[in-house]
Amino acid sequence: MSQVAEYSEKVMDHFANPRNVGEIENASGVGTVGNAKCGDIMRMYLDIQDNVIRDAKFKTFGCGAAIATSSMATELVKGKTVEEAMTVTNKAVMEALDGLPPVKIHCSLLAEEAIHAALWNYAEKTGVKIPGLEKPVTDIGEKEA
């Protein structure tokens, strides 16, 4: 019999009560990423003023782990400078959620990539250079082995 994946309490909490769901009108940066393999899509909105992320919101059409990782990712980037937001990697999101089952790790990658996509959009609009930021992919499935 295959094993049922176990989720931490934090994952369950962020799935059941996701923070920062919605859109930001006239956002400083918007990024959308999907994974063609599972069909999930995540869109992140960032409101950036004076180089600081004042607000972050998301809309995710996806699995519970994708919702929990989007929720946690938006919580983690809020209040950070755009440079500091680069430290919000999928690993950081997973750690903040007390881990994810191995089959769900790609969901946290979607969150990292969606943040990068929103930052990229902001950088393109403003001409700001964000160290370490690479052009995001629209299909995260390309990054997986």
C-alpha 54/C-alpha 9 separation (Å) is 27
C-alpha 111/C-alpha 107 separation (Å) is 7
Please, which residue, 36 or 79, has the CB nearer to ligand FES?
A: 36
Please, which residue, 12 or 125, has the CB nearer to ligand FES?
A: 12
Three-state SS for 99?
Answer: coil
Three-state SS for 56?
Answer: strand
**Which one of 7-15, 84-92, 93-101, 105-113 is the stretch in contact with ligand FES (CB under 6 A)?**
105-113
Least distance CB 11 / ligand FES (angstroms)? 12
Least distance CB 67 / ligand FES (angstroms)? 9
C-alpha 71/C-alpha 97 separation (Å) is 10
**Which one of 60-68, 77-85, 89-97, 122-130 is the stretch in contact with ligand FES (CB under 6 A)?**
60-68
**73 is a site residue for ligand FES (CB under 6 A):** no
**52 is a site residue for ligand FES (CB under 6 A):** no
Write the single-letter amino acid at 11.
Answer: V
C-alpha 80/C-alpha 65 separation (Å) is 23
Q: Are 53 and 47 in contact (CB under 8 A)?
A: yes
Which residues are identified as catalytic?
38, 107
Contacting residues toward ligand FES, per CB under 6 A: 35, 38, 40, 62-63, 65-66, 104, 106-107, 110
